[in-house]
Structure 1
Amino acid sequence: MSVLPVTLLASVIMLLCHCAQAQDAARVIDLECDHLPPMCSQGGEQPGGMMIEIGSEAIRRAGFIPNAKIRPWKRAMQEVTSSASALMIYFARTPEREALFNWIAVTNTTDFGFITRDGSPALDSVAQATAAGLIGIRAGSSVRTWLLRQGVQSEQLVESPLEDMAKMLKAGRVASFFGAATTFKPIYQRQNGVPPVVGARMYSDQNWIASGRMFPREDAARIAEAINRMRQDGFINQVISKYFP
């Protein structure tokens, strides 16, 4: 008579485990990024881009459902720091941000340099750029910290979204733009029909996937492991090669 209750109990336990796993797997995690094509972009009904593909795959491999959102950096950072179910992608690690986020894993690296309008000479040093005039940077970008450390005065820096900055550079309202050619060059070329002039690489920085402090540590560990597997099996390199053949 005792066999049936034991069997029934085992079945109930298995059912509860399956339900818990299904509930866990169904958890939706927001993936936040600014509009930075081709890295992150709001095209059509669903956000896309190289970093959205990488981040979404990591979330899926960790057993969750990705929900990509494209919004300005400052708003995205506010959302992530106050959420237990949101991540930042294509995110630079800076001293100012260090304590606010849980830095889960490095996804790739980005090169930064000075960019000038078409037909102008290249700027290959900070000294050349400061002598040339105002330097434009993307609003909310971590490059501001780097430039200030190189001795550039804050009064010489002009912040604006990339779309506006490309217009300002073409119009001569700034002498150069400092940032990533991978995101700025396509916007400038689309607006003007010709590419800007890209100077020498000034430095490279790691891009992170990060969460706020409320994000569960065990979930962060699963995503970190997923990123590691994606690096080992070549998925990340395949996605990068698709966008930058």
Structure 2
Amino acid sequence: MSTSRRSLLLSACCAALAPITARAQAHPVTWVTGEVPPFLWRGSAGPQGYAYELFQLVIKRAGMAADLQIYPWARALRLMQQGQAQVCLIAARTPAREAQFAWLFPVGSFRFALLTRRGQPALAWDPAVLRDRRIAVLRGSSSREWLDEVGLPVAAEGRDYAELVALLRRGVVDAILGPEAVVRAQLGHLGLPQDSVQAVALPRRLDLYAVSLPSLPEAQQRLIADAYRSLQDDGSVARLKRRHASAFADD
């Protein structure tokens, strides 16, 4: 192929891609998330973790203008519902949320547990017994959805996992219902010993996804999803997972 013909083909490809990229850059997308260690948390130097690094790779590959804002989970969810944010980086996939969002790409998964203070009786998943226990969950979370499904009362809702750990340590609640890996990662960030809580694993596991509002233009949804698939195909996702192997210990 001649140099001139190759240049013409390259120019045609760039011209075809330009409208999508231009639209993405012209309309910056606001991304939100809650802190979900070990996938994402605020460190001394800013956001850290597998999900944050994946976000950076995806928007770079997509050529998008995007900003990630970290809030307590319930506020991040509310911003999505009100249309003030267009994409949430980490959301648990549940039947109740299926139609609310477009599911762009997977981020990870977590398993649930009932976590109690060291020295206190461990709690099994028995709704008849748990009805008389004070159970705390993350506000607006899939844990709250689960308790609502089985008709169990919620004693307290924390704005984040640090607050849930504090409620448990002070004896305000008897147990936390939530993802064990997330609670244990939070203990580490707080400098607390892992044996300060005990966990009973539960038969529930949820996948975590980056999600958008269905109202986000389809071209932008496709741009984000295609960028992730491209990173998956060239091995970037696998390499990133190896660097953050502790986040995938349950897989």
- Sort the TM-score into its range (normalised by shorter chain): 0.7 to 0.9
Q: Which amino acid aligns with 1:206?
A: D
1:159 aligns with 2:157: yes
The answer to whether the Cα contact below 8 Å between 2:32 and 2:69 also exists between their aligned partners in 1 is yes
1:30 aligns with 2:15: no
Equivalents in 2 of 1:243, 1:159: separation in Å?
A: 29
1:152, CA displacement in angstroms?
4.1
1:178, CA displacement in angstroms?
0.9
Aligned residue for 2:109?
109
From the superposition, tell whether residues 123 and 244 of structure 1 become closer, same or farther in structure 2 (CA, over 3 Å).
farther
- Counterpart of 2:215 in 1: which secondary structure? coil
Aligned residue for 1:58?
58
Deviates more, 1:120-129 or 1:70-79: 120-129
Number of positions where the alignment pairs a residue of Structure 1 with one of Structure 2: 231
Equivalents in 1 of 2:19, 2:190: separation in Å?
A: 51
Larger Rg: 1
From the superposition, tell whether residues 173 and 129 of structure 1 become closer, same or farther in structure 2 (CA, over 3 Å).
farther
Q: Which amino acid aligns with 2:29?
A: I
Matches within 5 A, 1:108-187: 108-127=108-127, 130=130, 133-149=133-149, 151-154=150-153, 156-161=154-159, 162-187=161-186
The answer to whether the Cα contact below 8 Å between 2:79 and 2:85 also exists between their aligned partners in 1 is no
- Counterpart of 2:164 in 1: which secondary structure? helix
Unaligned runs of at least 5 residues, structure 2: 1-7, 247-251
1:21, CA displacement in angstroms?
6.8
Aligned residue for 2:249?
none
From the superposition, tell whether residues 79 and 95 of structure 1 become closer, same or farther in structure 2 (CA, over 3 Å).
same
1:173, CA displacement in angstroms?
1.5
The answer to whether the Cα contact below 8 Å between 1:114 and 1:176 also exists between their aligned partners in 2 is yes
Equivalents in 1 of 2:226, 2:211: separation in Å?
A: 14
Aligned residue for 2:221?
220
The answer to whether the Cα contact below 8 Å between 2:77 and 2:140 also exists between their aligned partners in 1 is no
Aligned-pair identity (%)? 23
Q: Which amino acid aligns with 2:163?
A: D
- Counterpart of 2:225 in 1: which secondary structure? helix
The answer to whether the Cα contact below 8 Å between 2:114 and 2:175 also exists between their aligned partners in 1 is yes
Q: Which amino acid aligns with 2:22?
A: Q
Alignment TM-score, normalising by the size of structure 1: 0.77
1:137, CA displacement in angstroms?
0.6
The answer to whether the Cα contact below 8 Å between 1:85 and 1:215 also exists between their aligned partners in 2 is no
Aligned residue for 1:48?
48
Matches within 5 A, 1:93-108: 93-108=93-108
The answer to whether the Cα contact below 8 Å between 2:58 and 2:231 also exists between their aligned partners in 1 is yes
Alignment TM-score, normalising by the size of structure 2: 0.76
From the superposition, tell whether residues 219 and 19 of structure 1 become closer, same or farther in structure 2 (CA, over 3 Å).
closer
